[in-house]
């Protein structure tokens, strides 16, 4: 059986972590499974590459070079500790030279286009996969490193591109069929693909999960395993809520809602392609193999809980004032959605009444300034920044249960916090609440305590 194993930044981030990967990989061979590994950069490296680009562009080339040296040394030291320095050097010297020249180039022209940024940020995965491959080879495993140039992107942009599935399927067949038939396990870079002009294009931050999903679907595998640094999908972000518990099984819609609204454990685009093909996704901890993790599936075993998990993300809240304009509500709504489509702005949450339409947008979207400018031509609006959408997710099978919304509002009121916007979809899976970001952690902790730990009877 073939499985896709995706290892995140912490799982790639140290010699110890790479030895964990080796033992996971070895145990799969012993079980007669064929593994395809999809890997992130070593933890923190993608951010450092981003910083390097900014420094070089802003005439701080010597700082950029210092940071480059530290990225290089981190990989070299890990290779040394794993006893594969000569192998790694053979694989990576030319790559490191390319990276150095690229940084110098940015420093000379003092310009960092999105295209160059994508190329620069792809080096993290290209280095980490070479390091892991060198180590797995040393351990006698039949592996080969691949840059994911066969993930064909739609060419929408260079930083958060979409994948063109039919083209990718063909390209993957052409490159991976023979090695797989020969029993070789590919070690593949996550995070990027190439567009129609064969230029590197990124899949968004955290996008290696999405790369894993694409490979799962294109290779006809049923299982994607996301190996990370927590025991599974938890009932809340463990950085905010210490009491967060592992969820054993969760439905894909529920998981998709939570990921879209900020549960960082999984990139939001990961689930849909796998589940559409009847597959399943596991979240596992690279550092705690005895824990079975979380299964994300179309048909989870029914759970007794009223609320399964809570997540949140930062947004801007916008209110359109429909009075005093000549367009009617129908026309404004139509124009708003046209605009969001044209400028690729996600409208995350919406509530409408006769006099006003309120909605939220993520505050880091590339076209946001352009969108706001066009919006002001359409209709007068008020924007409130530093808001958070809190997403409270119930299992699909609790539909119709009385009292969940009541408890949510009572809990928020008891925290002394005002709800600025609210919406619930008709399936009753997700309830969305907007509060000021400064009080969001406090509200999430209380909601977790009252709805997840002490559920409704
Ligand atoms: P990786 O580098 O392995 O992809 P990420 O940092 O992207 O790891 O995602 C894992 C992190 O997601 C965890 O360390 C945890 O802090 C955070 N996280 C946020 N919400 C959740 C949640 N509901 N369940 C599990 N982890 C979560
Ligand atoms: N290395 C990339 C990032 O930090 C992709 C990933 O880890 O999924 O965003
Ligand atoms: Mg991640």
Mean pLDDT over residues 65-75, rounded?
98
Other Cβ atoms less than 10 A from the Cβ of 149: the count is 16
- The reply to whether 222 and 324 lie within a common domain is no
CA of 224 to the centre of ligand 3 (A): 14
- Flag whether 152 is in a domain: yes
Please state which of the ranges 113-117, 187-191, 322-326 shows the lowest mean pLDDT. 322-326
Q: Ligand 1, residues 203, 244, 264, 281: which to mutate, most atoms within 8 A of Cβ?
A: 264
**77 pLDDT exceeds 70?**
yes
Both 131 and 41 in one domain: the answer is: yes
- Domain check: are 107 and 207 in the same one? yes
Alpha-carbon span 147 to 235, nearest angstrom: 35
**3-class SS at 219?**
coil
Residue 356 has pLDDT above 80, yes or no: yes
The Cα 258–Cα 128 span in angstroms is 29
Rg of the chain taking only CA atoms, in angstroms: 23
Residues 38 and 174 in one domain: yes
- Mean pLDDT (the chain) is 95
- Are residues 58 and 186 part of one domain? yes
Which residue among 18, 128, 228, 255 is best mutated to probe the pocket of ligand 1, counting the most ligand atoms within 8 A of its Cβ? 228
Domain termination residue (choose one: 212, 229, 246): 229
- Region 354-381: mean pLDDT is 90
If one counts every other C-beta atom within 10 angstroms of the C-beta of residue 87, the result is 18
| 89 located within any domain | yes
Query: What per-residue confidence (pLDDT) applies to 453?
Result: 82
Residue 57: give its domain's CATH number: 3.40.1160.10
In a domain, 69, yes or no: yes
Instruction: Indicate if 431 and 333 belong to the same structural domain.
Output: yes
Q: 13: closest CA among 44, 37, 47, 36?
A: 44
**pTM, 2 dp:** 0.95
Measured from the Cα of 227, ligand 1's closest atom is: 3
Token code pair at residue 229: 């640094």
Q: Please tell me the predicted confidence (pLDDT) of residue 302.
A: 86
DSSP string covering 163-179, please? B-HHHHHHHHHHHHHHH
Residue pair 144/134 in contact (Cβ under 8 Å)? The answer is no
Residue 440 belongs to domain with CATH number: 3.30.2130.10
User: What confidence tens digit (pLDDT) does each residue in 102-138 have?
Assistant: 999 999 999 999 999 999 999 999 999 999 999 999 9
Q: Per-residue pLDDT for 456 more than 70?
A: no
3-state helix, strand, coil in the chain (%, to 5): 45, 25, 35
More confident position, 324 or 220:
220
- Rounded to whole angstroms, the Cα distance separating 279 from 272 reads 10
Residue-range definition of the domain harbouring residue 77: 2-229
Asked if residue 319 and residue 195 are part of one domain, the reply reads: no
Query: Does the C-beta of 124 come closer than 6 Å to ligand 2?
Result: yes
Q: Which of 177, 199, 229 is the last residue of a domain?
A: 229
Distance 382 CA to ligand 3 centre (A): 34
Residue 13 sits in the same domain as residue 152? yes
Is 170 a residue whose pLDDT tops 70? yes
Give, for ligand 2, the residue of 40, 160, 215 to mutate: max count of ligand atoms closer than 8 Å to Cβ: 40
Residue 366 lies in a domain: yes
Cα–Cα distance between 86 and 84 in angstroms, integer? 6
Domain co-membership, 223 together with 316: no
Please indicate, yes or no, if residue 248 is contained in any of the structural domains.
no
**d(Cα 316, Cα 364) in Å, to the nearest integer?**
9
Q: Sorting pLDDT into bands at 50, 70 and 90, what band is 457?
A: low
190: Cβ below 6 Å to ligand 2? yes
User: Within a domain: residue 254?
Assistant: no
SS3 293: coil
21 confidence band (pLDDT: 50, 70, 90): very high
Residue 328 has a pLDDT of: 81
pLDDT band at 238 (very low <50, low <70, confident <90, very high): very high
Cα 374 from chain centre: 29
161 within ligand 1 shell (Cβ under 6 A): no
Chosen domain end from 195, 229, 263: 229
Residue 160 has pLDDT above 70, yes or no: yes
Q: Give the mutation target among 117, 148, 190, 264 for probing the ligand 2 site: most ligand atoms within 8 A of CB.
A: 190
The pLDDT, as a whole number, for residue 455 is: 63
- Name the closest-CA residue to atom 8, ligand 2: 206
Residue 299 DSSP symbol: S
88, part of any domain = yes
Give the residue, 101 or 427, on which the prediction is more confident: 101
Q: How far is the CA of 313 from the centre of ligand 2 (A)?
A: 18
**What integer is the mean pLDDT of 63-69?**
98
Are 34 and 175 in a shared domain?
A: yes
Residues 186 and 326 in one domain: no
pLDDT of residue 322: 87
Q: Are 191 and 203 in contact (CB under 8 A)?
A: yes
Give the chain's domain count. Answer: 2
* Residue 369: pLDDT over 80: yes
Mean of pLDDT values over 48-75: 98
Ligand 2 pocket, 40 CB below 6 A?
yes
Please give the Cα distance from 9 to 17 (Å, whole number). Answer: 10
Q: For residue 24, is it left (φ>0), alpha (ψ between -120 and 50) or beta?
A: alpha
Residues in the chain: 457
Angle between helices 45-57 and 61-81 (to 10 degrees): 160
325 within domain boundaries: yes
Q: Verify whether ligand 1 is closer than 6 Å to residue 265 (CB atom).
A: yes
Q: Are residues 224 and 362 in the same domain?
A: no
* Ligand 2, atom 5, residue with closest C-alpha: 206
Whether pLDDT at 259 is above 90? yes
Q: Can you spell out the DSSP letters for 349-395? A: EEEE-SSEEEEEEETT-TTHHHHHHHHHHHS-EEEEEEEEEEEEE--
Find out whether the beta carbon of 13 lies less than 6 Å from any atom of ligand 2.
Answer: no
pLDDT of residue 273: 94
CA of 83 to the centre of ligand 1 (A): 30
Give the start-end residues of each E strand in 64-151.
143-146
User: Quick one: CA torsion of 400, 404, 409, 415, rounded to 10 degrees?
Assistant: -170
Query: Does 305 score more than 90 pLDDT?
Result: no
């Amino acid at each position: 059986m073939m499985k896709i194993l995706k290892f995140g930044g912490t799982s790639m981030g140290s010699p110890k972590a790479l030895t964990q990967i080796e033992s996971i990989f070895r145990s799969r061979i012993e079980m007669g499974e064929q593994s395809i590994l999809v890997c992130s950069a070593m933890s923190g490296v993608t951010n450092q590459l981003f910083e390097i680009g900014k420094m070089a562009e802003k005439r701080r080339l010597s700082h950029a070079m210092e940071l480059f040296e530290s990225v290089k040394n981190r990989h070299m030291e890990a290779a040394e500790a794993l006893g594969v320095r000569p192998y790694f050097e053979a694989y990576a010297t030319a790559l490191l030279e390319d990276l150095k020249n690229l940084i110098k180039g940015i420093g000379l022209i003092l310009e960092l286009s999105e295209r160059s940024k994508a190329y620069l940020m792809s080096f993290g995965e290209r280095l980490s996969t070479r390091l892991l491959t060198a180590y797995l080879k040393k351990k006698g495993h039949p592996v080969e490193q691949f840059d994911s140039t066969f993930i064909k992107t739609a060419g929408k942009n260079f930083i958060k591109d979409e994948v063109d599935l039919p083209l990718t399927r063909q390209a993957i067949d052409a490159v991976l069929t023979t090695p797989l038939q020969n029993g070789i396990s590919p070690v593949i870079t996550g995070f990027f693909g190439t567009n129609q002009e064969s230029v590197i294009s990124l899949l968004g931050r955290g996008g290696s999960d999405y790369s894993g999903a694409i490979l799962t679907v294109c290779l006809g595998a049923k299982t994607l395993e996301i190996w990370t640094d927590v025991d599974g999908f938890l009932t809340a972000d463990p950085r905010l809520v210490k009491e967060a518990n592992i969820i054993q099984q969760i439905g894909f819609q529920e998981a998709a809602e939570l990921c879209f609204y900020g549960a960082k454990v999984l990139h939001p685009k990961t689930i849909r392609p796998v589940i559409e093909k009847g597959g399943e996704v596991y979240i596992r901890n690279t550092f705690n193999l005895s824990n079975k993790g979380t299964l994300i599936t179309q048909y989870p075993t029914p759970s007794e809980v009223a609320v399964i998990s809570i997540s949140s993300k930062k947004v801007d809240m916008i209110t359109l004032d429909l009075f005093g304009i000549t367009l009617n509500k129908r026309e404004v709504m139509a124009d708003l959605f046209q605009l969001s489509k044209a400028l690729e702005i996600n409208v995350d949450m919406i509530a409408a009444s006769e006099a006003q339409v309120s909605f939220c947008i993520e505050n880091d979207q590339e076209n946001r300034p352009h969108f706001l400018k066009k919006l002001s031509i359409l209709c007068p609006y008020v924007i409130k920044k530093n808001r958070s959408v809190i997403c409270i997710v119930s299992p699909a099978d609790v539909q119709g249960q009385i009292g969940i919304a009541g408890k949510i509002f009572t809990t928020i009121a008891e925290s002394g916090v005002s709800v600025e916007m609210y919406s619930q979809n008709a399936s009753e899976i997700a309830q969305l609440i907007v509060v000021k970001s400064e009080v969001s952690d406090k509200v999430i902790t209380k909601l977790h305590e009252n709805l997840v730990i002490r559920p409704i009877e």
